[in-house]
Structure 1
């Protein structure tokens, strides 16, 4: 699986100012609607419900909000780069400026987990995150995210 299997170019956006975590989740809902036709209110509700179980800010300025949604046939993603970091209740208490959100079908099992693991592994690379932070063009960000990265054998 590659990020190009779950992320469309039109699901990548740079946000100049998200004033709060809730506003950021609303931006994700709007992006999910624009790119995939998902209901923005239902998307925001599903993301907030997931966040209530525990924050998805994984540290080093990265958040991976995700939710299961009805009406999807496969896992899809949305990516936001924030010009101004926002507090996301991250594990390391650092504000977030890189957000990769995943939306999975309600009955998705292993596919959802594989996608989450792929995104997590990809965004753990500090060099890749530095490249993302250095670019403000959505097309460039998409290319950086979907380039075939060298995966180390286990």
Structure 2
């Protein structure tokens, strides 16, 4: 499974005005509403409920907020690059400027975990994160996120 199966090109956005974690969550809610048709308020509530269990800021300026949404039939994602990092209560206490949100059906089991692992692996790659931060164009960001890793010949 590649990120192209989780992420629509229109679900990638650059945000210039997020001033807080809550504002970032609202931006994610608005993006999910416009791309996938779910009510922004429901999305934000689900993200914040998950966040109350423990922060999803994984370090190095990256956050992986995620939640289950009633009515979804597959795992989907939304990506936001911030022009200015915001405090996210991350594990390393670094502010976040890359947020990849995942949304799974209520009954999703292993598919949700596989998707979360894939996104986590991708965004743990400092070269990918550097490329993302250097290219504030949504189409370019989508390409960076969805390009298959090159395979080294033996």
With the length of structure 1 as denominator, give the TM-score of the two structures.
Answer: 0.97
- 1:62 equivalent in alignment to 2:62: yes
Written as runs of structure 1 = structure 2, the 5 A alignment for 1:1-154 is: 1-150=1-150
- How far residue 17 of structure 1 moved from its aligned partner, in angstroms, is 1.8
Secondary structure of residue in 2 paired with 1:52: helix
With the length of structure 2 as denominator, give the TM-score of the two structures.
Answer: 0.97
Give me the whole-angstrom Cα distance separating, in 2, the residues matched to 1:134 and 1:70: 36
- How far residue 150 of structure 1 moved from its aligned partner, in angstroms, is 4.0
- How far residue 38 of structure 1 moved from its aligned partner, in angstroms, is 1.1
Deviations 1:12-54 (A, max 9, x none): 0000021110010000000000111111000000000000000
Instruction: Name the stretch that deviates more: 142-151 or 107-116.
Output: 142-151
- How far residue 151 of structure 1 moved from its aligned partner, in angstroms, is 7.1
Count of equivalent residues: 152
> Would the alpha carbon gap of residues 98 and 91 (structure 1) be closer, same or farther in structure 2, given more than 3 Å must change?
same
Which 5+ residue runs of structure 2 have no aligned equivalent?
none
Which 5+ residue runs of structure 1 have no aligned equivalent?
none
Alpha carbon RMSD of aligned pairs, Å?
A: 1.0
